[in-house]
Amino acid sequence: GEKVEQHQSTLSVREGDSAVINCTYTDTASSYFPWYKQEAGKSLHFVIDIRSNVDRKQSQRLTVLLDKKAKRFSLHITATQPEDSAIYFCAASPSNTGYQNFYFGKGTSLTVIP
Amino acid sequence: ETAVFQTPNYHVTQVGNEVSFNCKQTLGHDTMYWYKQDSKKLLKIMFSYNNKQLIVNETVPRRFSPQSSDKAHLNLRIKSVEPEDSAVYLCASRTGTGGAETLYFGSGTRLTVL
């Protein structure tokens, strides 16, 4: 089955700097890649996603890049703010399961230092 | 805005007891899930339920069982809890149209087994 690796367990940046979180996946059938944010004591909520028919998607300060050849995708946060501090989870969902299955990375704890 | 509702928020119980957690979604989604998030924040899928079809992660112990009365509800029963069941249990839902659509998570139920 699919295996999603999220290589950084923690990441610290200064307020206003950019943060990049990287993930890799193994299953070539994966074609949907959402990102979720989990703030302290709270549940996961969706922040941005990318489908395999594009290699870049931007939403305000968030950009997701997808490199299908390398089976790698990344979340870029520009002009970071203290409220961006949270655990970020990447996920991959294979099309051959009807997108039923979601495989999550282990999470990256982002700290934005004021 | 919350659309996946979980109760209770917290539950403390003793080894061997039976517990039941409730989940309801008001999004009209066709597929619901239960995930377990451990103390290291690792997310593990336990069950998915779509159109009366239950898909079980084969690593889930048999003391766990999902219960559904309709597509808006998916409850989780644990027959005889053990200390390793202490975790946060997250319910999620997504539309089951077969397309790539994201998961929506509830706020979670934190279980502590003494």
B45, A34: Cβ pair inside 8 Å?
Answer: no
Distance CA B76, CA B37 (A): 14
- C-alpha angle A20/A22/A28, rounded to 5°? 145
Mean pLDDT of A24-47: 94
pLDDT given at position B102: 84
Nearest to A44 among B45, B99, B105 (CB): B105
- Would an 8 Å CB–CB cutoff place B103 in contact with chain A? yes
Which amino acid does the sequence have at B79?
K
Chain A residues close to B96, C-beta within 8 Å: 98, 100
Q: Is A84 in a helix, a strand, or coil? A: helix
Specify the residue for token string 């700097």.
Answer: A17
pLDDT band at A78 (very low <50, low <70, confident <90, very high): very high
- Would an 8 Å CB–CB cutoff place A48 in contact with chain B? no
- Would an 8 Å CB–CB cutoff place A94 in contact with chain B? no
Q: Tell me what percent of the residues of chain A surpass a pLDDT of 70.
A: 100
Nearest to B102 among A43, A49, A106 (CB): A49
Instruction: Yes or no: say if B104 and B94 are a contact pair by the CB < 8 Å rule.
Output: yes
Chain B residues close to A49, C-beta within 8 Å: 100, 102
pLDDT band at B97 (very low <50, low <70, confident <90, very high): low
pLDDT given at position B1: 60
Q: Tell me what percent of the residues of chain B surpass a pLDDT of 70.
A: 96
Which amino acid does the sequence have at B62?
R
pLDDT band at B6 (very low <50, low <70, confident <90, very high): very high
B31, A102: Cβ pair inside 8 Å?
Answer: no
Mean pLDDT of A90-107: 87
Nearest by Cα to B25 from B89, B88, B77, B75: B75
pLDDT band at A100 (very low <50, low <70, confident <90, very high): confident
pLDDT given at position B99: 72
A45, B105: Cβ pair inside 8 Å?
Answer: yes
Q: How far is B43 from chain A (nearest CA, A)?
A: 7
Q: What is the pLDDT of residues B37-71, one digit of tens each?
A: 999 999 999 988 887 788 777 789 999 999 988 88
- C-alpha angle B101/A26/A105, rounded to 5°? 60
Q: Please identify among residues 2-61 of chain B the ones whose CB lies closer than 8 Å to any CB of chain A.
A: 31, 33, 40-43, 45, 48, 50, 55
